[in-house]
Structure 1
Amino acid sequence: MNGIHQGASAISMTPRKASKEVMPLTGHLRELRNRLAISILALAAATVAGWLIHDRLLQLLTGPACTLTHVHGVGRPTKECPNGLLVNTGLLSPLSLSFKVAVTAGFVMAVPVWSYQLWAFVAPGLYKKEKKYGLGFVAAAVPLFCLGGYLAYVTFPKGVETLAGFNPDTFSLSLPGDEFLDFFLRAVLVFGLSFELPLMLLLLNFLGILSAATLRRQWRTAVFAVFVFAAVATPTGDPITMIALAVPISLLLLAALAVATLHDRAKARRWAADLDSRLSDDEVSSLDLTPSSRAGATALQPRKPVDAAL
């Protein structure tokens, strides 16, 4: 029996062989190469599609500047841009502007492909809970980014008009097309990513890194930091655009705080229920010994365990 026991111990102490699902480093590198190739091909195909419709996209992107009625530039008024604000300053400017629009459109249209390739590469190394949180994060991040980008598109004309109002009467005003496009895309990117900040805090809470109590203690500091960030990050820098960015983020931050509070309370209840379910019959469950606030109420005393001999 002793030999059998030692043999069983030796078998139990032997390290388990790697599962067939475990991939070596070279396999991971090969998979990464393949998924990068698929993403690049999808981006190239989407860029070609964006080039075919870049004229319509350019009219859509320049709409916030060309629709301003109180601002007039030195450029030639056209049907698409009657205020003459946008101009091209070189022979290569139209080509570079069109190519930039096509690449931007291709990147956006290829988002489902390269985001799936990224998720398919990372997901096998995640736990079930991390996969659930990751999918929920992506499902909430996409509409939040689109909402922030749309808000930038709506408020951007007011920012351009505010900045153009500082132009003195002795100077003419013109805005190069590539400069405007960079300006506009930066605003969309800043607004879109800013709307992800409350979601990032909520993700940290769900992962157990940041508690709702910490968020409640620091919410005033967080709101102040949001306004400072909006003042620095907005491309136009005018107060209207800053407020248009800071107020929605602050509201989303408070909503994230409410969700984090509910999550922590539910987590505490599950933990307490799990702790009580693990107690054996001869163990004493935990009691709330906090005195009641009602008059005449007495605090409960801990119950002594029954003697096993009885």
Structure 2
Amino acid sequence: MQRICVIGGSRYFGKLLVQRLRAAGHQVTVINRGSGRPPAGVEHLVVDRDDEAALLAALGPRTFDVVVDQVCYTPVQAAIAARVFAGRTRRYVMTSTIEVYDPATAAALAPLPADTPVPEETVDPATWPVDPGLPWHDAAYLEAHYAEGKRQAEAVLTRAGGFTFASVRSAHVLGGGAREFTGRLAHYTRRVRAGEAVAVHAHALPTVFIHFAELAELLHWAATEADFDGPLNACSDGPLDVHALTAAVAAQAGRAPRYQPATAAAPASPFSFERHYAMSNARAKELGFVFSHTADWLPGAVTEALAETPTAVPTA
């Protein structure tokens, strides 16, 4: 049994992670602003993680074996966490994102060859520059600089000391029907079921995905079994481009897929990329984690999404 703190954990794969940690017999504490209650048997601290004094007061003398941070988006949040949890936990795991590799959001990142899955060392948090003076508290700025916020948050926690730090860079997460709150898979089920064209780039290239339950499993493993530090890519085997994803939806919906060129008036659909956007999961495999293949779970994820999609009359 380990004492584990989850910051966030109120929805989607974070909620599932909390459930799995509790079911495995761990002593779990969830910190959030009251957006969702954890399951029975899980301690709940309602506090704003951005309020350092309030967070310290809420934690009191508590210490943990592991902290899993699901909702760290900025270097300012990371710096608060580094101060609050230094000496309070031996290990800190942050959920990060594939977006850290997006060269469109960082001039320092050079695009890799089209057939090269991106390894973790492409973005080294130990050397990435940090600027806490940027307007990270502005919601619009943060939304527009999501990837850079994650890069800088990783950088702050990597250099913090006081605990072992690991980041899990998640691929695009799918599955769970209505629980998939981003609506990206629903974009495809709505359009395909309605007979509408999906807007795609002329030369769309592959990206990688992971099922929400598999990501919860990997985070559980990273928190309770693994002992790595630094960044770790998390993605199922089997990259897909937008055409393959749309075809999978169309097969389940019983309709032929339709496409149209992406334009300013019809922006590209989610997961349509003009750059190669696939990560390498070799490091996680070397550490002992076994990934599924997208073909193992994508049909079920599409079926769940279609169940939440109203039946529509095809357009002309």
* TM > 0.5: no
- TM-score range, shorter-chain basis? under 0.3
Structure with more of its chain in strand, by fraction: 2
Q: Which has the larger radius of gyration?
A: 1
TM-score, normalising length: structure 1: 0.24
Task: Tell me which of the two structures has the higher relative contact order, counting C-alpha pairs closer than 8 angstroms and 6 or more residues apart.
Answer: 2
